[in-house]
Structure 1
Amino acid sequence: MNGTRPIRLGIMGFGQTGRQIYELASASSDIEVVAVADVGRADILHYLLQSEAKNPELFRLDGNFLCTDRQRSRLMSIDTPAEMPWDVFEVDIVIDATGIYRSEADMQSHLAGGAPRVLIRTLPEDTIDRVIIPEINSGAADVRDRMISAASPTTTALCLLLHILSEQFVVECGSMTTVHAYTSDQALQDYAGSDYRRSRSAPKNIIPNGHDAGRWLGHILPSFAGKVHTSTLNVPVQEGCLLDTTLVLDDDTVTAADVNEVMRAGAKKYPHSVAVVEDPIVSSDVLGSEYSLLFDAKGTLKAGEHFIKTLGWYETRGHAARLLDVARLYASLDQQKEAAS
């Protein structure tokens, strides 16, 4: 890849996360979205982008091209990764933002279509080259990686919390529950789905679910492998999520104030991903945030001698920003390889 030109990005899936990726990329000078694959009609995709964008007037529709002043993105009516000819667009990387195509076979389909590298926005189902969370394990990225995951919004928030706290404290084990906005794969009305609870109406119920973060945690933070149980409560909120984490520390002298100070220092160390809020915020206050973790200082509690309970907020826009950071990371590795050859 020529380091003098923008990263040529392809996006599959123009749902909420895909649109956020597009909007953030459009505001940058180092990334150009050259193609978007989605089953939706071009005019409706454009309409949805404008309905959510901070500056909707920046986005125009010209036939099957979504346009800004600096880029033209071809809209392709595509249903599966195997149908998309990425080689036609000479992409450097594809972000699969569907949340559906998580298997090795799906990622191989992107590669077979001409994508040099595919990055999925979710945790994978099976084999993958790397799970990367910027500012935690970027150093593990290898230029030979072809199938990559940027984890998930919940996993990223949890890993940032654990990473920062474990630099100062010994965390023996823990439990995380994400109080999560309902998702597009849930039913509006009771409807037979993949399991009993997810068959119930999302806007009418609090629905307990499992979460894959615990299974993949050791791939990102090896010292936490098997130490943190993770679960989900999907609630009748459209956007904004809460990370409720209880940790067991080996040092019984650690206070809630100590934890907050460490998190404040962590926010200064990772200013693009983490911030600390001192106000009594609620879920709607985090909408539009590009942070992966908004640590809630007022939510920190000590229970007994070794238990610390913390709260943190996040939404999908922060994850969209991290996906672009991962794309930039691999573009940098490609440039280093070219320079060395």
Structure 2
Amino acid sequence: MTLNDDSFTHWKNREEIAESMIPMIGKLHRERDVTILLHSRSLVNKSVVSILKTHRFARQIAGEELSVTETLPFLEALTTLDLGPSQIDIGILAENHRADDRGLSVLDFTAEAVAGATGGNKIDRREPRDVVLYGFGRIGRLVARLLIEKTGSGNGLRLRAIVVRGGGEQDLIKRASLLRRDSVHGQFQGTITVDEANGTIVANGNEIKVIYADSPAEIDYTAYGVNHAILIDNTGKWRDREGLSQHLRPGIDKVVLTAPGKGDVPNIVHGVNHDTIKPDEQILSCASCTTNAIVPPLKAMNDEYGVERGHVETVHSFTNDQNLLDNYHKADRRGRSAPLNMVITETGAASAVAKALPELKAPITGSSIRVPVPDVSIAILSLRLGRETTREEVLDHLRDVSLTSPLRRQIDFTTAPDAVSMDFIGSRHASIVDAGATKVDGDNAILYLWYDNEFGYSCQVVRVVQHVSGVEYPTYPATSV
């Protein structure tokens, strides 16, 4: 047998193992509300190749590939346990077991690591929580995709309605088509049908009512069977408490804004300050995509080294707020053609840091350049640290944060030497540390942080909604805070 034959045989064996994992992962998710993760990446509804690629991802982070032969025994062990709703990371289970010197079997070690989700410790399965989208633009449609994807067993978030202004003939069909096909993010993973008679879009079995209204004051959501819902405002038309309070109509309990909030509206970055949300808070903001991109790495660096001051320069993809061709715009420079120019503009991300990370006392300044790409941006974070360090130490710290810390869903890490912006379309992390571009000199550090300003941000929004709705289940093995 040749070397190539050996490699091919090894690949086919791993394919077979990955195939055997799919029904176990699906059954745990549907029947017990258990989401199987691998280094914070969900394996639910993934293909054989996707499962293998996710395992291989560990190679660029930890230096060696994590094999399905290592994780399969832990997945099999989980199927034998009396599990309740939870998220379980079999990658961390496998690595922790490898480092454990007590000689425990896989089953005993797994049972101990997930004890908080078994037997008498199980939490109850949550009742479905209604969600309404107000606005159906770039972020609205991506949030819709995520909500439909996460319906799972039917006990989580359930997208019930979308509110838009009437757009004329075949409006419903055109909106469904925009959900079905996206020039940047590709095809919707599933099936979509339109019921024009009832004014609904049916996506993967989820019946979504499309409500036409010119203002929140026109709507009684209970008339559509919507109750105790969380409304996500994707329009950005109202950003203060008074304006957003208009959404608190019959059927709506809470309002989440997908733009920076003004005044006393809490600005929430999941993973950093979501645990500060008061149970009775009805209105909150998910801040901006750039704030979500820079605050988690800022926290990681401040916790380890201290940050004395910083500056963030964002090189940001163009957005619908800009003009396709030169035309009047109320803001300076944004009236110039977005696909033809680099456009210097402002960013509120730096000033928003104080709201999301009040323990960071360092002054942070910021500016932005819009560039002719449709998605994925990069934040260049220049920091004066509280102590001197080395590039190797900073990279080791951020690598560990991306793998095992409570920020592992927010911070990703890449060592790819030829990484470019298109490589990060569809990233579910708030930001991705580019190891090759990182610079450290004494107490000065410059981090290059990629972020999918559409999809990664939408993932952060959904995480906040899951948290406030009570369907954000605990993750095991637990990580230290």
C-alpha distance in 1 between matches for 2:338 and 2:368: 13
The residue correspondences of 1:33-52 to structure 2 (distance < 5 A) are 33-39=159-165, 40=167, 41-52=171-182
Query: Aligned equivalents of 1:56 and 1:181: distance in 2?
Result: 25
Q: Determine the structure 2 residue equivalent to 1:59.
A: 192
Aligned to 2:20: none
Partner Cα separation in structure 1 for residue 370 and residue 215 of structure 2: 27
Q: Is the CA contact 1:134–1:322 (under 8 Å) kept in the aligned structure 2? A: yes
**Alpha-carbon distance between aligned partners in 2 of 1:235 and 1:37, rounded to the nearest angstrom:** 31
Q: Distance in 1 between matches of 2:260 and 2:362?
A: 17
Find the aligned partners of 2:472 and 2:316 in 1 and give their Cα distance: 36
Could you give the per-residue CA deviations for residues 138-159 of structure 1, whole angstroms, max 9, x where no partner exists? 2211111011011111101100
After superposition, the C-alpha distances for 1:110-153 in whole angstroms (9 at most, x for unaligned) are 0145421100011013331x222221112211111011011111
Alpha-carbon distance between aligned partners in 1 of 2:350 and 2:314, rounded to the nearest angstrom: 12
**Would you say the 8 A contact 2:302–2:360 is kept in 1?**
no
Per mean C-alpha deviation after superposition, the further-off stretch among 293-302 and 264-273 is 264-273
Return the alpha-carbon distance in structure 2 between the equivalents of residues 86 and 256 of structure 1.
54
Q: TM-score, normalised by structure 2?
A: 0.65
CA gap 1:239/1:25 in 2 versus in 1, 3 angstroms: same
213, 216, 220: which is aligned to 2:349? 213
- How many residues matched? 331
Maintained 8 Å contact 1:99/1:121: yes
Bigger Cα Rg:
2
Partner of 2:368: helix, strand, or coil? strand
Alignment CA distance shift 1:189-1:18 (3 Å): same
Contact preservation (8 Å) 2:126, 2:471 = no
- How far off its partner does 1:209 sit? 1.4
The one-letter code matched in structure 2 to 1:72 is E
Distance (Å, rounded) in 2 between the aligned partners of 1:194 and 1:83 = 29
| Shift, 1:13, TM fit | 1.1
Distance in 1 of aligned mates of 2:218 and 2:252? 12
In structure 2, which of residues 189, 214, 222 is the aligned counterpart of residue 79 of structure 1? 214
Structure 1 pair 70–263 and aligned structure 2 pair: CA distance change class (3 A): same
Counterparts in 2 of 1:252-331, with a 5 A limit? Answer: 252=388, 254-268=389-403, 269=405, 270-279=407-416, 280-303=418-441, 305-315=442-452, 316-331=454-469
Q: Tell me the TM-score normalised to structure 1 length.
A: 0.91
CA RMSD of aligned residues (A): 2.1
Structure 1 unaligned regions, length at least 5: 336-341
> 1:338 maps to what in 2?
none
Counterparts of 1:333 and 1:249, CA distance in 2: 38
Instruction: Give the Cα–Cα distance (whole angstroms) in 2 for the partners of residues 113 and 215 of structure 1.
Output: 35
Of 252, 260, 268, the match for 1:115 = 252
Q: 1:140 — aligned with what?
A: 276
The answer to whether the 8 A contact 2:466-2:472 is kept is no
Q: Aligned ranges for residues 73-222 of structure 1 at < 5 Å?
A: 73-88=208-223, 89-112=226-249, 114-128=251-265, 130-222=266-358
Q: CA separation in 1, counterparts of 2:373 and 2:204?
A: 35
The percentage of aligned residue pairs carrying the same residue is: 23
Q: Is the 8 A contact 1:25 1:324 kept in 2?
A: yes
Shift of residue 217, structure 1, vs aligned partner: 1.3
